[in-house]
């Protein structure tokens, strides 16, 4: 499964002592819109259901290539042991739904033992096996494999001679594959056993890309010719976040990066032999550049040698290196990853350089360096400056986004003069520095998030703007007259962007902040943006719908019991609209965008006005409607709009190109709707200002 959370849903941010009320309990919830802590009623077994709903098993079960190649490799391994005259004893570690165990039993294994430590899934596996007629053929052990015992009185009577398992993530080893295989070989498997898959190979490719580098390194922002907002050296020289950056690399337009070299294999993990896996290893690859350039990032992916002979391969390579070319299987559990050198490394075509690749038991890291230097041991990159652990990668990229910064500078240049008193309300925003450099008389930077406040404080000092900017480390509702040093604010500006937001419209927190600040503002104060509009469009997603779709029949095995379990838990914990970075998931528009609702930030008095209406989205293209996507547009006037949705107005029947740096809201239908031109998708929306909730009911 992927390292970063591609399907994060709104949940409990903070929990105090719950007070019980029957089968429900009250928990403290930090409201991202109002900024207040509220007590909400929640199912007593909420955490249990959330763990099931977030398990991402369905993701893997929709991966047809994965399923077919596992089945083929298992059948070949069983046949090979049969040809040796051996009894086939299979161990399936982390069986999940029991799919691989049922494949092994169907392929003719004599003994199949499946272990599963996650108890809800173990219960599901038992029922799935029974429904498919394997109760007497598969032994289920409800333990971690490291707790399984072997012997006359143990969980297994004797060691297995065929291991089948899937314990991989985007980083390959991040789920503990090394320790799982090592323990199994030492304690659970015969020495000459077969293993499916038998090995994995890891590949890297250095690339040049200012676009990609923005996700890790803040770039100077030019405010006036020759006058830039710069970042402290500790931010620009930091190794960055320690975790890999996992994403659907194929969705990064190829014109946005330039390969520095051909891909290079850096590691091979042999799962088939006892003692073959190392908990720490290093490899120095000599790289021959294709052209002059800069190593801004390193792409990484892996493949699996599935069967004992290594004839069946499963590749996670991007399309330009995939053996099947552009015709790729969709998978969200195994993506590609980006790693960032500590600093961009310049290279010349005629000069070889090297990339040092290292891994420990759970992680990998990479660094570019000159060819010929003595090898060195790299420490795993860990952010020392605080920037990379405070701001997410998309948020960090927004700070350097030339499109957004151009809009902010245009609006500030129009509204700021030498007498302006400006207040900037957003988390971790450069707006206050822009305003100060553009000549505002006084600037207040409101930073309610303590970590963001430290970041902005350091950037203010690096740009020597302490005398022009006053940092207010408070929530807007707590700001007092004395905090403004006798000034009346005549311009309030926000991106708006807040750390606590989950869905795009959660950033309407800006509206609530302005409402609480009204007594401190000049009567004619400008509010920018002055409005937020939520828009929606009916979508046909090529693959994203699978994360919420039932599996049904998988390689001939019925998994409807699993589908029912996932749906029951999802109904308990999931909102009807969830955040997703839609630029990673191709889809075409089946309708024109429609306005869901609009809020005027200049009218805080309307915070008492509930909005409720029914919307009808008319499909203008025949097709399969499997979702509705929603986003926000923030209007700054004069045609200056920050759009958190499509980068270009979506045209019906064509692919929608979504913003790279924000997550949109999406409702995925449990079953796709076949629609004809003129059909409608109907839903109700209700906005309740008292708590900032936006509720959708699908009709």
> What positions carry a catalytic annotation?
166, 175
State the DSSP code for 18. Answer: P
Question: 378: which 2 tokens?
Answer: 């790299």
Q: How far is CA 86 from the centre of its chain?
A: 45
The three-point CA angle 316-320-324 to 5° equals: 60
Q: How far apart are CA 54 and CA 482, in angstroms?
A: 47
Burial of 392 (0-12, 13-18, 19+ CB in 10 A): middle
Beta-strand runs (E) in 125-208: 138-141, 160-165, 189-196, 199-208
The length of the chain, given as a count of residues: 699
Q: How far apart are CA 339 and CA 57, in angstroms?
A: 26
CB 331 within 8 A of CB 322: no
In this structure, the dihedral spanned by the alpha carbons of residues 453, 456, 462 and 468, taken in order and rounded to 10 degrees, is -90
Beta-strand runs (E) in 116-249: 138-141, 160-165, 189-196, 199-208, 221-224, 227-229, 245-247
SS3 sequence of 362-373: CCEEEEEEECCC
In 3-state terms, what secondary structure has residue 5?
Answer: coil
Question: Can you name the residues that pair with 527 across neighbouring β-strands?
Answer: 492
Q: How far apart are CA 481 and CA 497, in angstroms?
A: 25
The strand pair at 111-115 and 89-93 is best described as parallel
Question: Can you name the residues that pair with 294 across neighbouring β-strands?
Answer: 346
Q: How far apart are CA 550 and CA 7, in angstroms?
A: 17
Question: 665: which 2 tokens?
Answer: 């809201």
State the DSSP code for 605. Answer: G
Q: How far apart are CA 438 and CA 229, in angstroms?
A: 11
In this structure, the dihedral spanned by the alpha carbons of residues 475, 481, 487 and 492, taken in order and rounded to 10 degrees, is 30
């Amino acid at each position: 499964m992927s390292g970063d959370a591609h399907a994060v849903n709104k949940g409990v941010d903070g929990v105090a002592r719950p007070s019980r009320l029957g089968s429900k309990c009250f928990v403290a919830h930090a409201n991202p819109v109002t900024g207040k802590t509220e007590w909400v009623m929640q199912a007593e077994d909420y955490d249990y259901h959330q763990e099931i709903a977030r398990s991402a098993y369905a993701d893997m079960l929709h991966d047809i290539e994965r399923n077919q190649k596992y089945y083929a490799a298992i059948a070949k391994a069983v046949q090979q042991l049969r040809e040796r005259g051996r009894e086939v004893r299979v161990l399936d570690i982390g069986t999940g739904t029991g799919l691989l165990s049922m494949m092994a039993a169907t392929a003719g294994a004599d003994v199949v033992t499946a272990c599963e430590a996650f108890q809800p899934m173990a219960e599901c596996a038992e029922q799935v096996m029974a429904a498919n007629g394997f109760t007497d053929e598969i032994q289920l052990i409800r333990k971690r494999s490291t707790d399984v015992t072997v012997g006359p009185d143990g969980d297994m009577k004797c060691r297995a001679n065929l291991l089948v398992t899937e314990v991989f993530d985007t980083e390959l080893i991040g789920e503990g594959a090394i320790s799982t295989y090592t323990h199994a070989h030492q304690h659970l498997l015969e020495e000459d056993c077969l293993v499916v898959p038998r090995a994995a190979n890891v590949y890297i490719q250095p690339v040049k890309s200012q676009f990609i580098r923005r996700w890790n390194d803040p770039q100077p922002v030019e405010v006036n010719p020759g006058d830039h907002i710069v970042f402290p050296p500790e931010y620009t020289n930091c190794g960055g976040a320690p975790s890999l950056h996992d994403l659907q690399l194929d969705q990064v337009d190829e014109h946005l990066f330039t390969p520095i070299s051909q891909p290079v294999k850096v590691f091979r993990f042999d799962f088939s032999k006892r003692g073959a896996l190392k908990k720490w290893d290093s490899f120095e690859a000599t790289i021959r550049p294709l052209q002059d350039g800069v190593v801004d990032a390193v792409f990484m992916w892996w493949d699996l040698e599935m069967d004992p002979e290594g004839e069946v391969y499963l590749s996670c390579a991007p399309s330009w290196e995939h053996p099947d070319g552009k015709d790729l299987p969709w998978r969200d559990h195994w993506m590609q990853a980006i790693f960032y050198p500590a600093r961009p490394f310049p290279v010349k075509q005629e000069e070889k350089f090297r990339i040092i690749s290292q891994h420990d038991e759970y992680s990998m890291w990479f660094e570019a360096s000159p060819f010929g230097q003595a090898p060195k041991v790299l420490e795993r990159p860990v952010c020392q400056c605080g920037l990379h652990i405070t701001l997410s990668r998309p948020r960090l990229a927004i700070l350097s986004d030339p499109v957004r910064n151009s809009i902010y500078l245009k609006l500030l240049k129009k509204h700021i003069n030498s007498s302006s008193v400006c207040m900037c309300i957003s988390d971790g925003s450069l707006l206050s520095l822009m305003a100060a450099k553009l000549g505002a008389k006084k600037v207040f930077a409101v930073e309610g998030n303590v970590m963001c406040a430290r970041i902005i404080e350091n950037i203010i000092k690096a740009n020597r703007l302490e005398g022009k900017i006053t940092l207010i480390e408070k929530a807007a509702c707590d700001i007092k007259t004395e905090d403004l040093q006798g000034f009346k604010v005549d311009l309030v500006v926000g991106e708006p962007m807040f750390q606590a937001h989950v869905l795009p419209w959660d950033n309407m927190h800006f509206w609530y902040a302005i409402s609480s600040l009204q007594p401190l503002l000049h009567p004619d104060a400008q509010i920018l943006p002055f409005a937020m509009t939520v828009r929606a469009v009916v979508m046909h997603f090529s693959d994203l719908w699978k994360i919420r779709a039932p599996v049904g029949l998988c390689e001939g095995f019925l998994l409807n019991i699993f589908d029912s379990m996932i749906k029951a838990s999802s109904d308990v914990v999931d909102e009807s609209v969830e955040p997703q970075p839609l630029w990673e998931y191709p889809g075409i528009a089946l309708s024109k965008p429609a306005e869901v609702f609009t809020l005027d930030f200049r009218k805080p008095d309307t915070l008492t006005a509930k909005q409720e209406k029914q919307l009808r989205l008319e499909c203008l293209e025949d097709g399969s409607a499997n979702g509705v996507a929603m986003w926000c547009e923030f209007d700054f006037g004069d045609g200056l709009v920050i759009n958190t949705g499509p980068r270009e107005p979506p045209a019906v029947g064509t692919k929608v190109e979504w913003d790279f740096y924000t997550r949109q809201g999406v409702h995925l239908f449990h079953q796709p709707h076949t629609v004809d031109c003129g059909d409608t998708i109907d839903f109700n929306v209700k906005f309740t200002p008292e708590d900032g909730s936006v509720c959708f009911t699908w009709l």
